[in-house]
Structure 1
Amino acid sequence: MQKLFFENCTKNIKKEILSKWYDKVYQLYTSENRHYHSLVHVQSLLNLYQEYQSLIENKQVMILSIFFHDVIYDPKKGDNEEKSNELFQQFASETNLNQSVITKVSEFILATKRKKLFNSNQSLNDENQYENDLKLFLDFDWSILGSDEQTYEQYSKAVHLEYNHLGELYKQKRLAFLGIALQKLTNDKLYLTDFGKKQFLKNSIKNVQNEIKVLSN
Structure 2
Amino acid sequence: MKIEEKCKSRFQALLQDNKDISVSQKDSLWEEIRSHYSEPHRTYHSLNHLYQMLGEFDSVSKELQDPEIALFALFYHDLIYDVTSKTNEEESAKIAKDRLSELGISQERIEICIEHILATKSHRLGDKCHPDTSFFLDIDISILGSEESKYYKYAKNIRKEYSIFSSEDYQKGRIQVLNHFIENIRLFHTDFFFDEYEMRSRHNVKLEIHSLQKGELI
User: Would the aligned equivalents of 2:112 and 2:130 in 1 still touch at CA under 8 Å?
Assistant: no
Q: 2:209 corresponds to which residue? A: 212
The answer to whether structure 1 residue 50 and structure 2 residue 47 are counterparts is: no
Equivalent of residue 38 in structure 1, options 13, 29, 46: 46
Q: 2:14 corresponds to which residue? A: 8
Distance in 1, Cα, partners of 2:116 & 2:162: 25
Distance in 2, Cα, partners of 1:198 & 1:18: 38
The answer to whether structure 1 residue 86 and structure 2 residue 94 are counterparts is: yes
Equivalent of residue 98 in structure 1, options 106, 110, 117: 106
Distance 1:93 1:178, change over 3 A: closer
Q: Provide the secondary structure at the position in 1 that maps to 2:108.
A: helix
Q: Which has the higher contact order (CA 8 A, sep 6+)?
A: 1
Q: 2:85 corresponds to which residue? A: 77
Shift of 1:114: 1.2
Structure 1 runs (4+) greater than 4 angstroms displaced: none
Identity level (%): 29
1:143-182 equivalences in 2 (<5 Å): 143-168=142-167, 169-182=169-182
Q: Provide the secondary structure at the position in 2 that maps to 1:165.
A: coil
The answer to whether structure 1 residue 27 and structure 2 residue 35 are counterparts is: yes
One-letter code aligned to 1:11: N
Shift of 1:144: 1.2
Distance in 1, Cα, partners of 2:31 & 2:176: 37
Distance in 1, Cα, partners of 2:116 & 2:125: 14
One-letter code aligned to 2:14: N
CA deviation vs aligned residue, 1:77-119 (integer Å, no higher than 9, x gap): 000011101211231232122222212111111111115xxxx
Q: Provide the secondary structure at the position in 2 that maps to 1:96.
A: coil
Distance in 2, Cα, partners of 1:160 & 1:131: 32
Give me the TM-score of the superposition, normalised by structure 2: 0.88
Q: 2:183 corresponds to which residue? A: 183
Cα root mean square deviation, aligned: 1.6
Shift of 1:125: 5.3
User: Would the aligned equivalents of 2:101 and 2:107 in 1 still touch at CA under 8 Å?
Assistant: no
Distance in 1, Cα, partners of 2:125 & 2:179: 20
Runs of 5+ consecutive residues of structure 2 not aligned to the other structure: 1-6
- Select the structure that is richer in helix: 1
Which stretch shows the higher mean deviation, 139-148 or 94-103? 94-103
Give me the TM-score of the superposition, normalised by structure 1: 0.88
One-letter code aligned to 2:67: K
Which stretch shows the higher mean deviation, 8-17 or 19-28? 8-17
Shift of 1:2: 1.7
Distance in 1, Cα, partners of 2:164 & 2:131: 37
